[in-house]
Structure 1
């Protein structure tokens, strides 16, 4: 097979040059505070130990949400998942990284950008015969619960097991994640079993129509002959999906007709765990930059920052969900053009909650 040198040069310029510049732009930006988490939280501790496990947990959550027919319909209609898989993955992973490791301004802007994008996602689902709305708070709480359970399971499966106390601590620490997708903190369970109950409680709503089946099949059985960078990522995602199937609900595996053998699951787990452990150490640590350059830059900034920086102000922590759902633009750029999180690209939109400004821009 002939090598397309123009495509090789394009990928080299994008993933090794431009993405590195974008990563460093975020990494070197001013950091006024340590956001909603900070040193000593499990999010930071676990992600510093095994950063790839964090990303794999997000990937599993992205698979599970597609079993909801309304999500599958909205993704099929409004997403670039199949035409530009890496861009779609970057958006999801970058939000989690910005929320967990960003300063308060970056985290709020991540939430507002996500809310702005989701505000354009609405339509009609032919399976449930119901309208869907991308800013549904009920859906946001479910995806939050699903995501936190998936990330914790990924750390346990590929990093290190978490005790019951650590799982509950992980759940309680991640209430800001729910706020950054617009959920009132008083509605968010602070125990791991409470989150798992919400995640599993959605099972009766699950169904796979034609579009959902197509997208789930694409993620669980990524084509071997995918073009561009996916020609490398595709086989890797197949192995990851097999390993993750251990923690997918039997009902979901049956819907997807995805039944890898116990031997293949165990072998895939060994391979993925070994890669996660090796990647977390030494020169391979920065390779996840390819998946999410801005998000990885923010993680690096967080780990290198002064641990004595303050956390987000109490009034911001209390009202983060209101700031996210506030009317007005999140940023002036489209998702395909620039990162909305680099301050010299962001607008200086004032964010407030019925009184003087709580959140000031720190534009460079």
Structure 2
């Protein structure tokens, strides 16, 4: 039975508890207001240091010219992985392979081909997101998880990786393993001119926010500035240097109590938290609303990604749509044509419209 969140905005229960459920560490961390704000902004900013990813981003320029749409769709997908029901999320993961089949080409710095479905690229995106969400929670939220809870969190991260083309076995299961992964990535990432420009662009949360009346613009400026400072403060110095970002240690320290208090207040009211999510990503609200409002699903059931694929008839992402992906490669690398947008069009009912 649907209930009303805001006027004319019904909240419909999910079909099931998804892949994690209410007792998971994932739900606890990802449902805190730090996650889909600072945490997610940090993730999409840090991701741009991957030369293959920034080449794919530059190919379409959608992040620059349709930032709100791109952010909205991406945030909705990650929220679906954490909170969505298994049927919808498995379908979204499958169609995302077709969407990513468009993001192929030749990386200009190395001359190597890139493919957004490449397992290493997908692992970078996946771990950057899960690490950033947790780091924001620890820095501006309730604090560090216990050792047992952190171990569960990374085990759940590996479950989430089953919805990507990467190998879940490559997901580190400890904080030390995560640190080693990012240290190992340092020689493979680069703060190119394109990466630095896009990172600065994405640190401007205003491009993801809706237009507001003139009287509210000063408040929006303050929120935007605070998010930028808070996000940069979570980035290590070597990464800031690579990205061409400068920020004093005074700001790093000063922003912490401000953000901790702000997020603590927001966490006291699920409706306020949903309002904030709606400002950044309207299509994500139906995904997270049942969880934040405590609306039980139709079935109190969780499934593994493998069980969901078997039930609903989908291939593993790494094995999905091979014929379509080969056709896209032929168009780009053999025929010199633009890849087909069919996957993007097909994804709109699932991940949100491209029109905004």
Aligned with 1:216 (options 199, 202, 210): 199
Distance 1:321 1:56, change over 3 A: farther
Paired position in structure 2 for 1:286: 274
Deviation at 1:151, TM superposition (A): 0.9
Q: Which has the higher contact order (CA 8 A, sep 6+)?
A: 2
Distance 1:71 1:285, change over 3 A: same
Paired position in structure 2 for 1:8: none
Deviations 1:21-70 (A, max 9, x none): 6x63xx315x332111001001212334x234344212111111111222
Q: Is the contact made by 1:242 and 1:265 (CA closer than 8 Å) also made in structure 2? A: yes
Deviation at 1:227, TM superposition (A): 9.0
Distance 1:262 1:284, change over 3 A: same
1:242 aligns with 2:242: no
Distance 1:336 1:209 in 2: 33
Aligned with 1:46 (options 23, 29, 33): 29
Deviation at 1:332, TM superposition (A): 8.1
1:311 aligns with 2:295: no
1:178 aligns with 2:161: yes
Aligned with 1:28 (options 6, 9, 12): 12
What does 1:85-164 correspond to in 2, within 5 Å? Answer: 85-161=67-143, 162-164=145-147
Distance 1:333 1:119 in 2: 8
SS of residue paired to 1:259: coil
1:275 aligns with 2:248: no
Distance 2:252 2:198 in 1: 21
1:295 aligns with 2:284: yes
Distance 1:227 1:315 in 2: 38
Aligned with 1:205 (options 173, 184, 188): 188
Q: Is the contact made by 1:95 and 1:110 (CA closer than 8 Å) also made in structure 2? A: yes
How big is the alpha-carbon RMSD for the aligned residues of Structure 1 and Structure 2?
Answer: 3.4
Distance 2:121 2:224 in 1: 26
Aligned with 2:178 (options 180, 195, 215): 195
SS of residue paired to 1:208: coil
Deviation at 1:192, TM superposition (A): 3.2
Q: Is the contact made by 2:41 and 2:203 (CA closer than 8 Å) also made in structure 1? A: no
Count how many residue pairs are aligned between Structure 1 and Structure 2. 318
Distance 1:286 1:221 in 2: 21
Distance 1:142 1:341 in 2: 21
Deviates more, 1:187-196 or 1:331-340: 331-340
Q: Is the contact made by 1:100 and 1:107 (CA closer than 8 Å) also made in structure 2? A: no
Deviation at 1:229, TM superposition (A): 5.6
Deviations 1:187-223 (A, max 9, x none): 3333233233223321111212232121122233668
Distance 1:321 1:195 in 2: 30
Gaps of 5+ in 2: 1-5, 325-340
Q: Is the contact made by 1:79 and 1:88 (CA closer than 8 Å) also made in structure 2? A: no
Deviates more, 1:241-250 or 1:316-325: 316-325
Q: Is the contact made by 1:240 and 1:268 (CA closer than 8 Å) also made in structure 2? A: no
Deviation at 1:181, TM superposition (A): 1.5
Distance 1:336 1:278, change over 3 A: farther
Paired position in structure 1 for 2:333: none
TM-score using structure 1 length: 0.76
Q: Is the contact made by 2:17 and 2:84 (CA closer than 8 Å) also made in structure 1? A: yes
Q: Is the contact made by 1:333 and 1:340 (CA closer than 8 Å) also made in structure 2? A: no
TM-score using structure 2 length: 0.78
Deviation at 1:156, TM superposition (A): 0.4
SS of residue paired to 1:196: helix
Q: Is the contact made by 1:33 and 1:310 (CA closer than 8 Å) also made in structure 2? A: yes
